[in-house]
Amino acid sequence: DTLLLPFWNRRDGIVSDARDPCALAFSAPRACRCGFGLASALMLAFNGSSNLCQACHAVSINFGSASSLRDGFLRSSHFRLLCVTGLNRWVLRKLEPLGVLYQTGLQVPFFKARFEFVLEELLRSCKAQYVDELIKQDDFVRTLIKIANSIKPMKSEARKGALRKMLKKIQFVEPISLPLNPELKVSGIDVEKCKYMDSKKLPLWLVFKNADNTVQHPIYTMFKAGDDLRQDMLTLQLMKIMEKIWSKASLDLRMNVYGCVSTGLSDGFLEIVQNAETMSKIASKYGGGAKAVFRVETLQNWLVSNNRTGEDYSQAVEKFIRSCAAYCVATCVLGIGDRHNDNVMIKRTGEFFHIDFGHILGHFKSKFGIKRERAKFVFTPDMAYVMGGTADERFNQFQELCGLAFNKLRENAHLFLNLINLMVSSGIPELATPQNVCYLRDILVLDLSEEDAKEKFNEWIFESLQTTATQMQRADSSMELFFRMWRKHTATYKI
């Protein structure tokens, strides 16, 4: 009945002033009170929703009295902010007949009573129109789950038609807010642009009509049914906080931290980043498939083809260098694994980014007992080639940015340790024990000086460049894409 969470200075509101979270244990009520305070401080520091995961989980693990919960966090303006945003679906799932959401625990009487109490407070805190909006969102999500599950057993040639037929039946009497962003209201679905993605869970690619007539662009999202997105949501939350820390330090690292919200235990929405390609598709189109990962010019050729003028290309390379530094540091610190060509992407304007965070905190995959990922992060020769090679000043700029970004995270180490530590008992698969938190502590090499830490990260950069296992894994991914396309092509012309 203890939760490993360090004490922080509530008087000063300093969320990063903490002791070693891998060494201290506090009783659950005290830890949860710290969690509420940490969550509230983050609300103020990061504009409201950055602490969503921790704030919601703190509600579910609070073992204190109902009165202390009511008089504390649930009556705060920060909790009401979470309520009206409609983003607290992680904690709340539909509890008839209220039409609002809860996460887990209804099978356990203690948690059932707590969730019912939270629901009551949520309804008290929200105005009627917000409650109605939550109910409409929930009904809409349930409809999408039903559609997504109904196409899964169908034959591939029948799926797209069936999907669009069912989507056409959805009626929008009035605009509704998307769970991804309550400020985004949609008035309908552009059915002809919708499809399903050819992956294991068959996620839905959905294109919504923007209810704001002054905005011409539609809203692109992906809806997943059958996938637990809580780990992705947590990872992207931490990346968003990293981005804001770097921005405050005048480090513009051109990140693309896309939106992600879990609407239940196995469903949720993802924001689609427009005008971007996976490295796998770039390899197949511009480098001849799997062997393209060993051709250093493939990525540069793709960037040149999308940035025809010298000025456009120079700007694309600058964005690539900055974003590459950001994601090398972020994926290293968070221990993100299973990196292959299908979950590493780049925008046509040069911004590099990662997607799909199914393995974090050093849970690297193995094949036949051999570790598939031996480098701390993905940085391959074709990426260095875009920077002009290791002797070029642009590569030196990349190294400098990595060092600055890494040290900024080290300065804020206990903030990240606290945030992850609070989630240890949340049920996220790869965050089950305090030892998982220790991965983050160790990778930040907190015993080193800034200069030594910068030098250590430079060593990791060259280790990544020289690790052929990363390129082999990317080649495997490109081969898988080739065979998927080949099977799809032969199925189309099957007699």
pLDDT score of 119 = 66
Q: Tell whether the model's pLDDT for residue 171 goes beyond 80.
A: yes
Between the ranges 36-40, 451-455, 465-469, where is the mean pLDDT highest? 451-455
Q: What is the pLDDT of residue 352?
A: 97
Confidence category of residue 9, pLDDT binned at 50, 70, 90: very low
Q: Evaluate if residue 484 carries a pLDDT over 60.
A: no
Alpha helices in 221-366 (DSSP H): 230-248, 279-286, 298-306, 310-333
| Mean pLDDT to the nearest integer, 100-112 | 45
Better pLDDT: 256 or 72: 256
Which residue segments constitute the domains of the chain, with CATH numbers given? 2-126 (no CATH), 133-226 (3.30.1010.10), 274-485 (1.10.1070.11)
> Could you tell me if 282 and 299 are in contact, meaning their C-beta atoms sit under 8 angstroms apart?
yes
Q: Are 105 and 143 in contact (CB under 8 A)?
A: no
Distance CA(410)–CA(156), nearest Å, equals 49
pLDDT at 419: 85
Q: State pLDDT tens for residues 350-385.
A: 999 999 998 899 877 666 555 667 789 999 999 999
pLDDT at 54: 62
SS3 content of the chain, % helix, strand, coil (to 5): 50, 10, 35
The better pLDDT of the pair 97, 389 is held by 389
Per DSSP (E only), the strands in 355-411 are 366-367, 370-371
pTM greater than 0.85: no
> pLDDT digits over 269-278, tens only?
999 999 999 9
pLDDT reading at 403 higher than 90: yes
Band of pLDDT at residue 132, cut at 50, 70 and 90: confident
Q: How far apart are CA 358 and CA 375, in angstroms?
A: 18
pLDDT in tens, 39-89: 444 444 444 445 556 655 655 555 444 445 555 555 555 555 554 444 444
- Higher pLDDT: 420 or 20? It is 420
**What is the pLDDT at residue 290?**
53
Give the angle subtended at the CA of 429 by the CAs of 423 and 433, to the nearest 5°: 55
In the chain, pLDDT over 70 holds for what percent of residues?
Answer: 65
